[in-house]
Structure 1
Amino acid sequence: MAAPKEKPVVVATAFGAPGHTQGLILMSAHLVKKGFQVYLITSADSKAAIEKTGARFAENPWQWERVFATGPPKHDSMWVMKHIFGDSTPHAHRVLKETLEQIRREQPSREVVILHESLSGCLGPFEFGAPLPEGYSSLPKVINFHTSVCLANHDSIPPFGPGLPYDPTPENLALWRSIRDASAPAIAGVTEHYNNLYKSLGATRPMEGSFFDALMSFGDVTILATSPSLEYPISSPNLKLRFIGGLPLRPLDPAFVYPSWWPTITANAALPAGSPDKKRAVFVTQGTAHRQYDELLIPTINALAARTDLIVVVTLGLRGAELDIPIPANTIVVDYFPYDAVLPYTDVFVSNAGYGGFMHGVMNGVPMVLAGTIADKGEVCARAEWAGVAVNLRAQKPSEEAIRAGVDKVLGDEGFKKRAVELQRENQGLDALAQVERIIGELVGGL
């Protein structure tokens, strides 16, 4: 019997913000358990978590928070694409090249697969002709992992950005085309910025089309950690694109100590459904990156303050953070709390529509009330509404009245919970981590 084929080394790369890194840490942990040697390139903030999985950490020194903090006060998404993500490219590309060369020196015959988070900045120069790392006659096979909604630029779906609802009437199709035409110069500016960066790193040809199209087509396969029911149908889809389903819930750290108020949640959940003492649980977060508490978190606390039928749990998304406002009797405020600890006990998840948080809601089968318009948040809200799992408040800073109405709508319509459970099962059934392993096997001709 022939000996089993040696598994390839996996070199994973991620932009250094939590929403871009956490999924790859989970994938890396799975692959290490399955016998793969894994490197993960990202910021030093994630070093301990990465090494805990058994993967090897390689640091990308790009300090995006410092750049963001010193940027223009009213920066737009195109500025972010250029100067937060784009300008990370020289650092990220260098570290990927050095890591690949180190692997080749240490293991000359070992096959390598790159697991590339789409905005990590590492891969683009190679895609457009930059010199290969020493010891390689061709670029290793690449799985491109996109951590948000699909950025496909196609006439059959709304343009990315405004969070427009999916309603492909002839009038809307014409509107979508006009919006794309109007935004084309700004997108061309982003593409030119990346082309200049890539050229400075040795790229020999410019990308054709827009950077956003390229982003969804890097490498050999592009994976989205979601299910088809959470994305708009595209009339001519990208053939590289695969839906692998939402990433599974992360097990809680065995050392995690529940706070003193936690029995309030579990005891309430244990009450029978018809008990007059049983309250509905609302979990509220402003996310971990855009923590402007006056936009959603504080208005939600105020909107639900008088509700004796609710327990409201609020997380501030940052260890040591505090909220300097009066806290109502029905509300618990905590600086940082694992989503997957509280969501199984939650009836409504109120969130600012970060994609990672949204998918935590999906994977826990919890209906949502979402508010957000910046970055990809308007698009997350629109898709969640279209999929029937959320109320979309269509605002970055919704009114207390709108929040209260949204929560009441979810609590009063059993269809939201039913749909949430359907989407949870659909995503669980796709088995995301097994699919990642399977795709690696396809790219290297079997494992």
Structure 2
Amino acid sequence: MALVIAAATPFHGHVQPVLTVAADLVRRGHEVVVLTGSRFAEDVRAAGALHVSLPPAADFDDRRLEQHFPGRAAFPTGPAQLDYDMKHVFGDPTAAQYQALRTLLARRFPASVVISDPLFLGTTALALSAPPGRRPVTVGLGITMPTLLSEDAPPIGLGMPPLLGEGAKKRHREMNDQVKEAFAGAQRHIEENFKGSGTELPGFILDCLATVPDHYLQLTVPGFEYPRGDLPSSFRFVGPLPAAPRAPRPLPEWWAEVECARQPVVAVTQGSFDNRDLGRLVRPAIEALADQDVLVVAATGRADGPAEIEAGGPVPENARVGGYVPFDALLPYASVLVTNGGYGGVHQALRHGVPLVVGGDGEDKPEVAARVQWSGAGLDLRTGQPSPEAVRDAVLAVLGEPGYHARAAGLRAEIERHDALDAIAEVVARAAS
């Protein structure tokens, strides 16, 4: 049995994959403490682990970011807001996270392994605080695309695939230099935060997220990520995590129509978190396909979601709108998924061999969408607020071109050859031996 600390920045999208890992390690007989935000205490206990809250300087409620970071609203979605987030949302908690880890290790829980999402920078500071053997083994979970700069691919943030042909590597290096220049202020700010924890950041922060941990386990397969010849030896593709177990929910009253549908089923979602305004993607998709021979199944991810859609106008006859629709039940019937592009949700679709139409903005979603199109598994709408016409054209293109389904099936087969939980458990077992 190993003692494991699983640490997560208190965002829903960061905590859930860490909890999936924690629950699996508990099932395998390990003792796990989850260090994260106070609002996730019940979720941690449901996973069978012990919850420890982050100290106030590092704890916040991601549903109310404007209360914790009042200056954030002044920056528009995009590079300016990312710069703010790197400085204040992720950078400023570094010393408090690091001290919480040190205190937990020294007084209550002498773990042999610390697993965390990459932006939990307290773990990065822990890895820098002492050489291996004098501290726990650190494991970074690649819950989104690699942030490493490379001469083989553009830097993240541009939402573009690798350039091809003569001069591509040179152009990638030039773009990397531009990103470093744009991040210079954030870099200095984060370096000061590391000094506050008594450590020194050894390079560019977007590189360090993946190079500093002893192990970096990317939660995808090579076929969904831009090829790079300069990855460190500690970097490994392990495949996506399985969907987190959820309490059983009753299927919608119209579910038999999904099971018996003769026409293609088009699933639509804005995810389980970024769904406050269903007019961004769900409503346009419903309107776009109203006159097509398809069955549209919109999963709003909210109990009041169907009421919001109905308040916006009549629901077309070929559309069914639900609150919480279990995607493990829906995706086997889906011919295409229209989604805002969350990393986990996209991989859930690919696990079922379902091609995608992606319309998302903010956070990592443009990068996910770009990889969907680059991989051949679907189309990128290049906006988080597409017009109904754009959605319709993309859905019909994916339904009408067998290549999208073939590529999604190929990625499904590649995913089936990986087991992320086994790979993580192997690292834990080696560290504890």
Does TM, scored on the shorter chain, surpass 0.5? yes
- Provide Cα deviations, 1:264-312, integer angstroms capped at 9, x if missing partner: 21232xxxxxxxxx121111112233334333222212111222x2111
Task: State the shift of 1:171 in Å.
Answer: 4.5
Q: Which runs of 5+ in 1 are unaligned?
A: 1-6, 105-109, 269-277
Match of 1:285 among 269, 290, 295: 269
2:36, 2:328 → 1: CA distance? 24
Q: Does 1:259 align with 2:260?
A: no
Measured at CA, do residues 137 and 249 of structure 1 come closer, stay the same or move farther in structure 2, by a change above 3 Å? closer
Task: State the shift of 1:408 in Å.
Answer: 0.6
The corresponding residue for 1:151 is 147
**AA paired with 1:20?**
H
Question: Does the 8 Å CA contact 1:10/1:37 hold for their aligned counterparts?
Answer: yes
Counterpart of 2:223 in 1: which secondary structure? helix
Q: Does 1:116 align with 2:121?
A: no
Alignment of structure 1 residues 422-433 onto 2, 5 Å: 422-433=410-421
- Provide Cα deviations, 1:213-236, integer angstroms capped at 9, x if missing partner: 010123210001111111111122
1:49, 1:375 → 2: CA distance? 24
Greater CA drift, 225-234 or 409-418: 409-418
Question: Does the 8 Å CA contact 1:58/1:95 hold for their aligned counterparts?
Answer: no
2:215, 2:137 → 1: CA distance? 9
Question: Does the 8 Å CA contact 2:117/2:141 hold for their aligned counterparts?
Answer: yes
Task: State the shift of 1:348 in Å.
Answer: 0.6
Greater CA drift, 314-323 or 367-376: 314-323
Question: Does the 8 Å CA contact 2:3/2:112 hold for their aligned counterparts?
Answer: yes
Q: Which runs of 5+ in 2 are unaligned?
A: none
- Provide Cα deviations, 1:364-408, integer angstroms capped at 9, x if missing partner: 221100122432222111211121111112223222222111101
**Seq. identity, %:** 30
The corresponding residue for 1:271 is none
Task: State the shift of 1:64 in Å.
Answer: 4.8
1:43, 1:320 → 2: CA distance? 26
Task: State the shift of 1:417 in Å.
Answer: 1.7
Counterpart of 2:159 in 1: which secondary structure? coil
Match of 1:100 among 100, 105, 122: 105
**AA paired with 1:72?**
A
- Provide Cα deviations, 1:184-240, integer angstroms capped at 9, x if missing partner: 22222222111111222332x3x1321100101232100011111111111222211
Give the TM-score taking structure 2 as reference length: 0.89
2:280, 2:111 → 1: CA distance? 49
Match of 2:214 among 216, 220, 228: 220
Greater CA drift, 61-70 or 397-406: 61-70
Measured at CA, do residues 121 and 152 of structure 1 come closer, stay the same or move farther in structure 2, by a change above 3 Å? closer
Counterpart of 1:350 in 2: which secondary structure? strand
Q: Does 1:18 align with 2:12?
A: yes
**AA paired with 1:303?**
A
Counterpart of 1:181 in 2: which secondary structure? helix
1:332, 1:95 → 2: CA distance? 47
Aligned length in residues: 417
- Provide Cα deviations, 1:395-437, integer angstroms capped at 9, x if missing partner: 2322222211110111112222222122112112211111111
The corresponding residue for 1:314 is 298
The corresponding residue for 2:352 is 364
Match of 1:162 among 158, 161, 171: 158
The corresponding residue for 2:287 is 302
The corresponding residue for 1:67 is 65
1:211, 1:425 → 2: CA distance? 34
Counterpart of 2:295 in 1: which secondary structure? strand
Give the TM-score taking structure 1 as reference length: 0.87
- Provide Cα deviations, 1:62-96, integer angstroms capped at 9, x if missing partner: 11533346323434211122222223324433332
Greater CA drift, 41-50 or 350-359: 41-50
Question: Does the 8 Å CA contact 1:348/1:367 hold for their aligned counterparts?
Answer: yes
The corresponding residue for 1:34 is 28
The corresponding residue for 2:176 is 180
Moved segments of 4+, more than 4 Å:
none
Greater CA drift, 165-174 or 344-353: 165-174
1:402, 1:95 → 2: CA distance? 48
1:171, 1:202 → 2: CA distance? 42
Measured at CA, do residues 384 and 192 of structure 1 come closer, stay the same or move farther in structure 2, by a change above 3 Å? same
1:252, 1:111 → 2: CA distance? 28
Task: State the shift of 1:9 in Å.
Answer: 0.3
Counterpart of 1:223 in 2: which secondary structure? strand
Greater CA drift, 278-287 or 39-48: 39-48
2:244, 2:332 → 1: CA distance? 13
Alignment root-mean-square deviation, CA: 2.3
**AA paired with 1:338?**
P
Question: Does the 8 Å CA contact 2:128/2:212 hold for their aligned counterparts?
Answer: no
1:231, 1:115 → 2: CA distance? 22
2:180, 2:243 → 1: CA distance? 39
Task: State the shift of 1:317 in Å.
Answer: 2.8
The corresponding residue for 1:325 is 312
Task: State the shift of 1:332 in Å.
Answer: 1.9
Measured at CA, do residues 393 and 155 of structure 1 come closer, stay the same or move farther in structure 2, by a change above 3 Å? same
2:122, 2:196 → 1: CA distance? 14
**AA paired with 1:279?**
Q
1:425, 1:137 → 2: CA distance? 38
- Provide Cα deviations, 1:149-177, integer angstroms capped at 9, x if missing partner: 11120111112111112232234444433
**AA paired with 2:368?**
V
Task: State the shift of 1:250 in Å.
Answer: 3.8
**AA paired with 1:417?**
H
Question: Does the 8 Å CA contact 2:155/2:179 hold for their aligned counterparts?
Answer: no
- Provide Cα deviations, 1:296-338, integer angstroms capped at 9, x if missing partner: 222212111222x211111223343433311222222223333
Measured at CA, do residues 407 and 237 of structure 1 come closer, stay the same or move farther in structure 2, by a change above 3 Å? same
Measured at CA, do residues 214 and 319 of structure 1 come closer, stay the same or move farther in structure 2, by a change above 3 Å? farther
1:243, 1:359 → 2: CA distance? 14
Greater CA drift, 60-69 or 149-158: 60-69
2:167, 2:264 → 1: CA distance? 42
2:329, 2:37 → 1: CA distance? 26
1:9, 1:310 → 2: CA distance? 51
Match of 2:336 among 348, 368, 382: 348
